[in-house]
Amino acid sequence: MGTPESKPDPAATAASRPLATTITLRQPYLLFLGDASHASRAKTALGIRDWAPETCAGQLRLADCAVDLELPELTPAQAAQQGIGSLLIGIAPIGGQFSESWLPTLFAAVEAGLDIVSGLHAKLGDVPGLADAAKARGVRLIDVRCPPPGLPVGSGRKRSGKRLLTVGTDCALGKKYTALALTRALRAQGIDADFRASGQTGIMISGTGIPMDAVISDFTAGAAECLSPDAAAGHWDIVEGQGSLFHPAYAGVTLGLVHGSQPDAMVLCHEPGRSHIWGYPDFPTPSLQTAIEEYERAARLTNPKARVVGIAFNTSMLDDTERAQLLADTERELGLPCFDPLKSPLDAVIRNILSL
């Protein structure tokens, strides 16, 4: 009688997968802003400028672009003459597709000898003629939003080490910035901590990560397990959040990331004054209390002790007095440390994190 066929243990499979996709990009960058009408549409370029400024040598904008990074305005030819290595597409339009108005710039970049780096869902090689032009010129077309092959389904197995996930009431309001700021603050205190990128901009900043919104839905939780594998007991993985549980289009990737990252701690990110989901006026943003309750309920499927430990506000539209009042009022109301990750001390939320 034959031996029954053994089946792979999904928990062991997830734990043994490579951590993430690692990329090598030719720097510095010419940041392409195209026809971005609002800063939220240029969040990739803004993230690179704010967290890897040494890599940013210029910007290229079309005539109707409303965003200015205050970098030198360069054509692809001028950029190549100055030793710039890549045109980096810094725009994140809804749906992640290329605009027809961008195509002359892409071909001009290839002709000038620049690599092109994209984090969009659409693939550079699918632009008619662009791959042939790049091959002829000897430059690379690099699509960052490509998950590694062979990702497993989620196992739900509790992993060693500690994890924090940034979550939000909506998209594009500071989850990546908060995760990066918390990682930096923890390291400054001598804590072993790593930033785990889950989106294209974070991957471009850190050089590694998994683009969660490009993963097939059945494997999202498993990908999140690979993103934050077993670690030493005192190690913290600070996982960049994606989307929002309250977003009518993107809640699915959020839920998979919540379940797979199994956060011990979550920091809720919010932009004051945002009354509805960006681009969806019929969907109001939730109250902070509702968001806390819903995220904790979702996270406790795979980590029964998960809890929100702080509130991160994007207060870029407030003055100092308004910011201080908002943070103080919300702290009294919710009993949680409140802060702006770019403008406030992080001591209180770090204490909350390390108390777990």
For the purposes of burial, counting CB atoms within 10 Å of the CB of 198, is it exposed (0-12), middle (13-18) or buried (19 or more)? buried
Q: Give residue 20's pLDDT.
A: 57
Cβ atoms of residues 202 and 241 within 8 Å = no
- Tokens read off for 308: 């929100």
Structure tokens at 171: 């998209």
- Any idea which residue has 């209390």 for tokens? 289
Interval 290-347: pLDDT, tens: 999 999 999 999 999 999 999 999 999 999 999 999 999 999 999 999 999 999 999 9
Mean pLDDT throughout 211-224?
Answer: 95
The candidate with the shortest Cα–Cα distance to 43, out of 9, 82, 92, 81, is: 92
The residue type at 234: G
Q: Nearest to residue 213, comparing CAs of 146, 155, 269?
A: 146
Q: What is the DSSP letter of 41?
A: G
Predicted confidence (pLDDT) at residue 92 exceeds the cutoff of 60: yes
Please provide the average confidence, as pLDDT, over all residues in the chain.
92
Check whether 73 has a pLDDT greater than 80: yes
Amino acid of residue 320 = D
Strands, sheet with 141-143, edge to edge from the N-terminal-most edge strand: 56-61, 29-34, 86-89, 115-118, 141-143
Is it the case that residue 10 has pLDDT exceeding 70? no
Kindly list the structural domains of the chain, giving each domain's residue range(s) and its CATH number in brackets, ordered by start: 21-143 (3.40.50.720), 162-354 (3.40.50.300)
Average pLDDT of the residues in 50-67? 94
| Residue range 94-115, pLDDT digits in tens | 777 888 999 999 999 999 999 9
User: What is the tens place of the pLDDT at every residue in 23-47?
Assistant: 889 999 999 999 888 887 898 999 9
Quick: pLDDT tens for 177-200: 999 999 999 999 999 999 999 999
Residue 144 CA to its chain's centroid (Å): 12
Instruction: Quote the tokens at residue 21.
Output: 């996709």
Q: How many CA atoms lie within 13 A of 112 on its CB side?
A: 24
According to DSSP, the residues that pair with 339 across neighbouring strands are 312
Report the amino acid identity of residue 169. Answer: T
Q: Give which of 143, 176, 150 is closest to 51, Cα–Cα.
A: 176
Q: Which helix (H) or strand (E) holds 88?
A: strand 86-89
| Percent of the chain with pLDDT strictly greater than 70 | 94
pLDDT grade, residue 54 (50/70/90)?
very high
User: Has residue 8 got a pLDDT over 60?
Assistant: no
pLDDT tops 90 at residue 242: yes
pLDDT band at 62 (very low <50, low <70, confident <90, very high): very high
Q: What is the reported pLDDT for 307?
A: 98
Give yes or no for residue 354 having a pLDDT over 50: yes
Give me the amino acid identity at 29.
Y
CA 246 to chain centre: 17
What whole-number distance in Å separates Cα of residue 127 and Cα of residue 132? 10
Q: What dihedral angle (degrees, nearest 10) is formed by the CA atoms of 176, 335, 331, 257?
A: 10
Provide the H-helix boundaries in 117-219: 130-137, 175-188, 200-206
| pLDDT score of 174 | 94
Q: Above 50 in pLDDT, residue 4?
A: no
Q: How far apart are CA 128 and CA 288, in angstroms?
A: 46
Average pLDDT over residues 206-214: 92
Percent of the chain scored above 90 by pLDDT?
A: 85
